[in-house]
Amino acid sequence: MQEDAALPELIRLEKNKELQQIGNKILHQERLTPREGVLLYEQGSLSYLGALANGVRERLHGDTTYFNRNFHIEPTNVCVFSCKFCSYSRLYAHREEGWELSMDQMLDIVRSYEGKPVTEVHIVGGVHPKLNLPYFIELIGKIREIRPDLHIKGFTAVELDYMFRKAKVTVEEGMQLLKQAGLQSLPGGGAEIFHPEVREIICHDKVDAEGWLRIHETAHGLGMHSNATMLYGHIEQYRHRIDHMERLRQLQDKTGGFNTFIPLKFRNKNNDMSHVKESGIIEDMKVYAVARLYLDNFPHVKAYWPMLGRQKAQLTLSFGVNDIDGTIDDSTKIYSMAGSEEQRPTMNTAQLVTLIKQVKRKPVERDTLYNPIRDYTDIDIREIELNPLLN
């Protein structure tokens, strides 16, 4: 890809010598150290970080910005864990305040997409003590029967860890069984912040960093791909964010199985951390930029638009992001309960394409594994709106 000619000049003009050195490393595609990662956060101006990250994004992807056509199923919000930031779960003892979809209700959701050109179902929910490994194996099998063409991306490492321990199977055995049933990849949730200084405070009782990473490593070993998230903007410090990304970078060196990194902005409504102020837009953009610079072995950085809002998601495209997730169509509540920008997050293809075109990027529909499905650059929005196969 063509490099922006202004970038070397911008780096030359940077007054802070350490930041200038980092800029030159980025230009020469050299890996940043953890210390340099922290320094970027502490001293890098937004414009400098943005220009560097944008250069990396351009080198890797040109103007292509991906989206996919997917829908979410949240089996339940009943959860045995008590993450302080979670606005969504209800403890089993208070399960009458929560919801639990039956197998038939979930399959009806899948059936409701008959004839619609979605390519992925994303399944993530709370950790219900009664919903076990055989149940989810059955669910995946039945989804496959109804829609063999759908890519099934499901279950955070937190859900999987609990499922496997309850079923008394090893991670290898459990992953193997789910793979045989038809599970194809793992979403990136449950990672939060790996460092125990933070994890102990915000989510002490669920799988730890090592357990999370082991589950993803095992999935990668079986040829499955996965994503990784980072919940930022609460009590963590810069060094915790860099430690988080460092652990991911190391695993990615080993397996190459991660597709995309998704920073998740902490939202403070209706949870036990409501007293914690949310991050501002400048910090949000820095998180994306530093992620793009630090995670040199992650092919993609994704902005999850329901959490950020559409305009901020658009802005992230100038700070290293090359993917804005999907149509989502989430009729339930995982994010809206935490105070996300979108109360019932869904966008149709025309809306996603418009968002991407407004910032002069090329919208390309992808599948879960980032195989391009259709380039919308030269397709008129009106044509998309009128064609049910495109919208």
Interface stretch with ligand V47, choices 11-19, 211-219, 225-233, 356-364 (CB under 6 A): 225-233
Is the distance from CB of 321 to CB of 292 less than 8 angstroms? yes
Nearer to ligand V47, 215 or 307 (CB): 307
Distance (Å, whole) CA 203 – CA 190 = 10
The continuous run of DSSP H or E covering 254 comes out as: helix 238-255
- Residue 252 interacting with ligand V47 (CB under 6 A): no
The position carrying tokens 């090592």 is 210
Is the distance from CB of 294 to CB of 286 less than 8 angstroms? no
Q: Which residue is nearest to ligand V47 (CB)?
A: 189
- Residue 127 interacting with ligand SF4 (CB under 6 A): yes
Is the distance from CB of 285 to CB of 315 less than 8 angstroms? yes
Query: Min. distance of Cβ 52 from ligand V47 in angstroms?
Result: 25
Instruction: Select from 196, 180, 70 the least CA-distant residue to 136.
Output: 180
Q: Which of 60, 81, 283, 354: binder of ligand SF4 (CB under 6 A)?
A: 81
- Residue 125 interacting with ligand V47 (CB under 6 A): no
Query: Min. distance of Cβ 326 from ligand V47 in angstroms?
Result: 8
Binding mask 207-246 toward ligand SF4 (x if CB under 6 A, else -) reads ----------------------------------------
Amino acid at site 226: S
Q: Which of 187, 257, 263, 320: binder of ligand V47 (CB under 6 A)?
A: 187
Dump strand ranges (E) for the chain.
64-68, 70-73, 120-123, 151-154, 185-186, 225-232, 258-265, 300-301, 323-326, 362-366, 372-375
Query: Min. distance of Cβ 209 from ligand V47 in angstroms?
Result: 13
Q: How many CB atoms lie within 10 A of CB 47?
A: 9
Contact residues: ligand SF4, CB under 6 A: 79, 81-83, 86, 88-89, 126-127, 158, 203, 206
Judged by the rule CB under 6 A, the positions of this chain that interact with ligand V47 are: 85-87, 124, 156, 187-190, 192, 227, 229, 231, 262, 264, 266-267, 271, 304, 307, 338
